[in-house]
């Protein structure tokens, strides 16, 4: 019963409550600025704690939560994404006069993600995922005066509820097959049997894959993602695209790699199938998108496929690759969304591809940052996306999934069609509309974009340190 193992969670929950309370203070300026400040401070404090507590596994709360390198790594990632989201939302319409609720919900969702990352119990996993989802349902629909925002919220809610039910049913089967909700017990019980020897576990596995794939927006459970990403307020989209995916992969890793390593050969096939489908469908569908957020949604589907390659490998090597790529993915995607947020403020329909004509020339710093992120997403060296793909393909080859690596390569080729199209539009086309407002780049958005670009480069150049961290997390995950 150690409280210390979930200090970040407590800090974030507390910050969320404080932010919500600040929503009702009469002082207008405090109401406006307070929640963001509280959120920022809370996130910073939680980050500090996470970094400070980097170390071996501790088990807290009767085995409900772990605090280990994996959870800390994921928490750091999620917290960074949350911080970026709050920074991006500073002037977002949905958040302007309800800053407290907005920040509070973001923080609560973050808490759900941290919980998912720390979970050592089926119930906690489910609850964490639901906490993050429910908060996101609201955040998606927060611009209630915009029908698209509402549509996004409702679609997310309905598909999300079905997905959650599927996941729940899978978890129930897993529970039924083993008689325990604790991952450690489940692992011990299934440690020496392959999954296919018990059809109940097979069924559970299929359903859990489906449920988590939904959260990670992997094909064919991804179909909500483009609609929701497009409809939701852009900072929230950024949050969903990054943090949610991180949490979903944390759950993937915990359940499959961490708990069921013995059945690796069985679930590998299923996850590899999902990965391949995601890579192909995501990349192909993204090719024809005219809306950048939608395009990034499909790109996110494809990236989920890449991330799943490492999961499918199911080893330290694979986990390390997935974790590294998650970090890289968060940086590049957030950077791109920061660009979209900025552009949306400058022009009408700022999420349309045509809105980016000549963007790079007009705003070189943002343009270069965006280009770096896009090139990294496309897997160009020497950027983080390349190193990630390199590791993922390596993991695939290492586990005789060469075909999956080839699918990944083919997908990357396809992805050039849209990433580079955007790059081309940014630099090679002349600005179409003269009515673009040339506002100064807001500091927060610019900072997010540029620090993401810097991170994308730094992650590749200083890969050794990041890989050590990811490797450490992977080893803790797999060590009994």
Partner 1 sequence: MGEQITFAVAAIAAMSCGVCVVSLRNAFQATVALIGTLLSVALLFLLQAAPFVAAIQIIVYAGAIVVLFLFVIAYLGERQADLGPDRAWRVQPLALIAVGVVGALGAVALLNANIRLQDKLVTLGEGPDIGSPKAIGDAFLRRYLVPFEVTSLVLLVAAVGAVMLAKRAVQAEGSR
Partner 2 sequence: MTASVLGWLVLGLPLLGALVLSLWPSEPPQTVTRVIGCGSMLLAFILTLATWGTLLGENPEERTHVSSLWRWIEIGDLRVDLAIRIDQLSVLMMLVITGVGFLIHLYSTEYMAHDVGYRRFFAQMNFFVFSMLLLVEAGNFVFLIIGWALVGLASYLLIGFYDDRPSAVAAARKAFVINVIGDVGLVFAAFILLAKTGTLDFDQVFASAPKTLDGYAAEAVALLLFVGAAAKSAQVPLHTWLPDAMEGPTPVSALIHAATMVTAGVYLIVRCNVLYELAPSASNVVAIVGAITLLLAATIATVQVDIKRVLAWSTVSQIGYMIMGAGLHAYSSSMFHFLTHAFFKALLFLGAGIVIHALLGEQSLDRMGGLGKHLRGVMLMMAIGCMAIAGVPGLSGFFSKDAILAHAWSAGALGKCLWVVGIVAAALTAFYMFRLFFRTFMGPDREGGYEHLHMPGWAMTVPVAILTVGAAIVGWIEIPGVWDAMTTWLDPVVAGGPLGPAEVTHSAEWITGIASTLVAAGGIVVAWQIFGRDPKRRLELAGVARGPRSVLRDAYRFDDIFEGTVIEPTKQIGEVFLTKVEPRGAQGLVDGASSLVRVISGVISRLEGGLVRGYTAAMVGGVVVLGLIATVLLRAN
Partner 3 sequence: MPWTTVLIIVPLLGALSMFALPEGGALQARIHAVVASLITLVLSFELLRRFDRDAGGLQLVDSHDWASSVGLRWTTGVDGISIWLVLLTTLLFFIAIAYSAFAWCDRPRAYLGLLLLAEAALIGLFVAGDLVLFYVFWEAMLIPFIFLVGLWGDENRRSATIQFVIYTMVGSLIMLVAVVATGILAQRHTGGAYTFTIADLAGVDFTERESTWLFAGFALAFAIKLPLFPFHAWLPKVYSAAPILVTALLAAVMSKAGVYGLLRVGVPTFPVGADNLTPVLLTLAVLGIIYGSLVAWRAETMRLVVGYSSLAHLGFIVLGIMAFDLQAGQGAVLQMVNHGLVVAATFGIVAMLARTGSEQMDRVSGLGAGAPWLGGVFLIVAMAALAIPGSNAFVGEFFILAGVFREHTWAAILACIGMVYAAVYMLRLYQDMMNGPRVGDGRKAEFRLPDALAILPIVLLMGLIALWPQSIVGGTRESVKRAIEPARAVAHPPAGVGEVPLP
Instruction: Give the footprint of partner 2 on this chain (CB under 8 A).
Output: 154-155, 158-159, 162-163, 166, 195-196, 199, 202-203, 205-207, 209-210, 213-214, 219-221, 223-224, 226-227, 266, 269-270, 273-274, 281, 284-285, 287-288, 414, 417
What is the C-alpha to C-alpha distance for residues 216 and 59, in angstroms, rounded to an integer? 26
Map residues 5-34 to x or -, x wherever contact with partner 1 holds by CB under 8 A: -x------x--xx--x--------------
**Is the distance from CB of 14 to CB of 38 less than 8 angstroms?**
no
70: left (phi over 0), alpha (psi -120 to 50) or beta: alpha
The verdict on 204 binding partner 3 (CB under 8 A) reads: no
Q: CA of 302: how far to CAs of 119, 283, 351, 406, 460, in Å?
A: 26, 6, 20, 14, 21
What is the C-alpha to C-alpha distance for residues 224 and 231, in angstroms, rounded to an integer? 11
- 119 vs 378, beta carbon nearer partner 1: 119
Residue with tokens 């999956």: 404
Least separation, in Å, of the C-beta of 194 and partner 2? 9
**Is the distance from CB of 133 to CB of 112 less than 8 angstroms?**
yes
Contacts of partner 3 in 358-377 (CB under 8 A) = 368, 375
Partner in contact with 412, chosen from partner 2, partner 1, partner 3, none, beta carbon below 5 to 8 Å by kind: partner 3
What is the C-alpha to C-alpha distance for residues 218 and 223, in angstroms, rounded to an integer? 9
The verdict on 397 binding partner 3 (CB under 8 A) reads: yes
Residue with tokens 């679609």: 155
Contacts of partner 1 in 163-192 (CB under 8 A) = 173, 176-177
- 33 vs 478, beta carbon nearer partner 3: 478
- 403 vs 465, beta carbon nearer partner 2: 403
Please name which of 255, 247, 257, 304 lies closest in space to residue 116, comparing C-alpha atoms: 247
Longest dimension (CA), the chain: 67
Which of 92, 357, 383, 391 touches partner 1 (CB under 8 A)?
92
Contacts of partner 1 in 301-340 (CB under 8 A) = none
Which of 292, 389, 449, 456 touches partner 3 (CB under 8 A)?
389
Written as six digits, the tokens of 52 are 């400070």
**Is the distance from CB of 447 to CB of 366 less than 8 angstroms?**
no
Written as six digits, the tokens of 61 are 């709360």
- 219 vs 373, beta carbon nearer partner 2: 219
Collect all residues with Cβ–Cβ distance below 8 Å to 203 and sequence separation of at least 6.
Answer: 170, 173
Which of 51, 52, 200, 365 touches partner 1 (CB under 8 A)?
200
Torsion of CA 82, 122, 317, 189, to 10 degrees: 170
> Any idea what the Cα angle at residue 344 is, between residues 342 and 348, rounded to 5°?
145
- 17 vs 447, beta carbon nearer partner 1: 17
The verdict on 478 binding partner 3 (CB under 8 A) reads: no
The verdict on 104 binding partner 1 (CB under 8 A) reads: yes
**Is the distance from CB of 82 to CB of 106 less than 8 angstroms?**
yes
Contacting positions for partner 1 (CB under 8 A): 1, 6, 13, 16-17, 20, 61-65, 91-94, 96-98, 101, 104-105, 108-109, 111-112, 115, 121, 123-124, 127-128, 130-131, 134-135, 137-138, 141-146, 153, 173, 176-177, 197-200, 202-203, 344-345
Contacting positions for partner 3 (CB under 8 A): 368, 375, 379-382, 386-387, 389-391, 393-394, 397-398, 402, 405-406, 408-410, 412-413, 416-417, 420-421, 423-424, 427-428, 463-464, 467-468, 471
């Amino acid at each position: 019963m150690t409280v210390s193992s979930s200090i970040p969670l407590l800090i974030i929950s507390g910050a969320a409550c404080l932010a919500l309370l600040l929503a009702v203070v009469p002082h207008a300026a405090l109401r406006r600025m307070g929640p963001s400040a509280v959120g920022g401070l809370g996130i910073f404090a939680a980050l500090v704690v996470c970094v400070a507590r980097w170390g071996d596994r501790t088990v807290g709360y009767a085995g409900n939560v772990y605090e280990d390198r994996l959870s800390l790594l994921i928490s750091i990632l999620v917290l960074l994404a949350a911080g970026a989201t709050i920074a991006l939302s500073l002037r977002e319409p949905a958040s302007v006069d309800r800053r407290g609720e907005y920040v509070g919900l973001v923080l609560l969702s973050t808490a759900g993600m941290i919980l998912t990352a720390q979970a050592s119990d089926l119930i906690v996993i489910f609850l964490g995922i639901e906490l993050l989802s429910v908060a996101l349902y609201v955040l998606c629909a927060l611009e209630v005066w915009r029908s698209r925002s509402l549509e996004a919220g409702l679609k997310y809610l309905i598909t999300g509820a079905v997905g959650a039910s599927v996941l729940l049913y899978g978890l129930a089967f897993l529970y039924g097959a083993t008689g325990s909700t604790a991952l450690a017990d489940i692992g011990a019980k299934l440690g020496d049997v392959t999954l296919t020897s018990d059809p109940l576990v097979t069924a559970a596995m299929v359903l859990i894959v489906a449920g988590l794939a939904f959260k990670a927006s992997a094909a064919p459970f991804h179909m909500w993602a483009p609609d929701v990403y497009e409809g939701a307020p852009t900072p929230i989209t950024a949050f969903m695209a990054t943090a949610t995916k991180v949490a979903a992969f944390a759950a993937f890793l915990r359940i499959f790699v961490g708990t069921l390593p013995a059945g690796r050969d069985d679930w590998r096939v299923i996850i590899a199938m999902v990965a391949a489908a995601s890579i192909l469908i995501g990349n192909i569908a993204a090719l024809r998108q005219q809306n950048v957020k939608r395009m990034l949604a499909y790109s996110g589907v494809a990236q989920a496929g890449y991330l799943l390659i490492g999961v499918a490998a199911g080893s330290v090597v694979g986990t390390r690759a997935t974790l590294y790529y998650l970090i890289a993915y968060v940086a590049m995607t957030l950077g791109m969304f920061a660009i979209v947020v900025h552009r949306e403020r400058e022009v009408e329909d700022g999420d349309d591809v045509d809105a980016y004509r000549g963007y790079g020339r007009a705003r070189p710093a943002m343009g270069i940052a965006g280009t770096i992120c896009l090139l990294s997403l496309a897997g160009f060296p020497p950027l983080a996306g390349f190193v990630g793909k390199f590791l993922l393909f390596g993991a695939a080859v290492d586990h005789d999934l060469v075909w999956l690596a080839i699918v990944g390569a083919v997908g990357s080729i396809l992805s050039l069609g849209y990433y580079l199209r955007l790059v081309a539009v940014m630099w090679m086309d002349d600005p179409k509309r003269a009515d673009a407002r040339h506002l100064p780049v807001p500091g927060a958005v610019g900072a997010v974009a540029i620090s993401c670009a810097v991170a994308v480069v730094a992650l590749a150049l200083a890969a050794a340190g990041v890989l050590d961290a990811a490797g450490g997390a992977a080893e803790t995950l797999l060590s009994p």
